[in-house]
Each structure stands twice: as C-alpha cells, then as structure tokens.
Copies of this chain bind each other. A is one copy, B any other.
Amino acid sequence: MSVERTLHHFPLDPASRQVRLALGEKRLPFVEMQVRYWEMPPEFTSLNPSGMPPVLVETKHQRNLVICETRAILEHIEETETEPPLLGRDPAERAEARRLLQWFDRKFDNEVNGFLLHEKMEKRLLRMGAPDLAALRQGREALRMHLGYIESLLQTRDWLAGRRMSLADFAAAAHLSVIDYFGDVPWKDFQAAKTWYMKLKSRPCFRPILADRWPGLAPAAHYDDLDF
C-alpha cells in the first residue's frame, strides 16, 4: 500500500526544512512544490488557510490527506512511519524533544528570525527596502544567546534532547541553516555547536538543504562546505 507524497515548501523556510530533514532521514521520497507563500497564491491558501508552508499531501488509493503546519506533519510522520524514531521511545525523551521543538519554533523564531531573517530575507522578498542595522544587531545578539544555550545542552549530551538524534536537532539545525545561508552564524565562537552542526550537515538528509539556492539571494561561501 504505497503512499505518494508531495511537499509544498519554501526552500529558505526553517519550518519547511524541518519536514524535509525528517522525510529525508526516514528515507521517504516526495515530490517537491516550491511555494512563494508571501504572494498568497490561491492554490496554496486553499490547502492551508493560514497561508504558511509547509503542507504535506499524502495520496493513497487516489485519496488525498492534506497535512498543514510543521508540528502536525512531524507528529503524523512519526505516527505512521516509525523507523527510525525521531522523537525518542520513552516519555522523558519525547517530552524533552518536544520542549526543544517549541523552544526553536517560538523563542528562536521570535528572538532571532523575527529580526535577522526578517531584515535579510523577508524584506528582500517583499521589496521592503534596506535592512535596519539596529534590528540586525538585536537578532545577532539573541543568536549568540541561543548558540550558548545549544552549547550548554551539548556539555552533557551527544544530541540536543539526549543520547539520540531527534526532531529537536532537526529543528535547531533547520533554523541555523537558514541563518547560515546568509552567513550570520558566528561558528568560530561556538565550537561545540559547530561540531554538532557538522555531524548533521554531513548526513544524507541534509544534502538537498545544502543545494538550495534562491534567485537574488546568494548563500555565504561556506554554506554548503562540509568542512567549514
């Protein structure tokens, strides 16, 4: 009973990247549809009324199951394609992975993306003018705090949520990889975080992420370098 999958996503969207990494790690092939979500295309908003990527469409026996929003997609994949497990097997591991998902999707998103990505990416996509330097500085300061938090976790753990790689690592790496596309991650000051990111970056699931390019937005020189 084979399932065909189509992922509607935007290549530089951290939320979309989490789903691409999880699908890749579970070796689930999918057709990709890139969506310029900020233009609110009706064929996309009819799939997800919030207008936000990612949206996964699973087709089985000619019936479509439309799954909108990162967390819904990640929990669904975890429930239906159980190997390898990406949320951990016991309640404590799962609680810790989900706590960190929320950390990156709310706190990191508000404090870092809301400034850095807004200024460097959204303003260019929306032709809103030049970046505001004070906002960039605020985003970069918050980013250093978050990298410090990642390092504090890695002092006692192999992966962010514990002994095993999980969706928490993919969430953090998805966010950082977009910031890294714009060359704004101060890796040299955070060696433990850099080592952790190198491990993720060299996994097969990360290859499509490193191949992403968007017209008019060139990546930093080291972006796809595994030995950066």
Contact = CB atoms under 8 A, between A and B. Distances in A.
A150 to B, nearest CB: 12
B80 A98 contact: no
A218 interface: no
A138 interface: no
**Is chain A's binding surface mostly helix, strand, loop or mixed?**
helix
A65 B92 contact: yes
The contact size tier of chain A is 20 to 34
Nearest to A99: B68
A102 interface: yes
Nearest to A153: B49
A102 B71 contact: yes
Contacts of A95: 65-68, 72, 76
A182 to B, nearest CB: 23
A48 interface: yes
Contacts of A71: 71, 98, 101-102
Interface string A56-97: 000000000111111110011001100000000001101100
Instruction: Give the copy number.
Output: 2
Given A50-B107, A99-B48, A107-B50, A79 B66 contact: no
Contact of A50 (B49, B66, B98, B103): B103
Interface of A: 48-50, 65-72, 75-76, 79-80, 91-92, 94-95, 98-99, 101-103, 106-107, 149
20 contacts: A48-B99, A50-B102, A66-B95, A67-B99, A68-B102, A69-B99, A69-B102, A69-B103, A70-B102, A71-B101, A71-B102, A72-B95, A72-B98, A72-B101, A72-B102, A75-B75, A75-B98, A76-B91, A79-B91, A79-B94
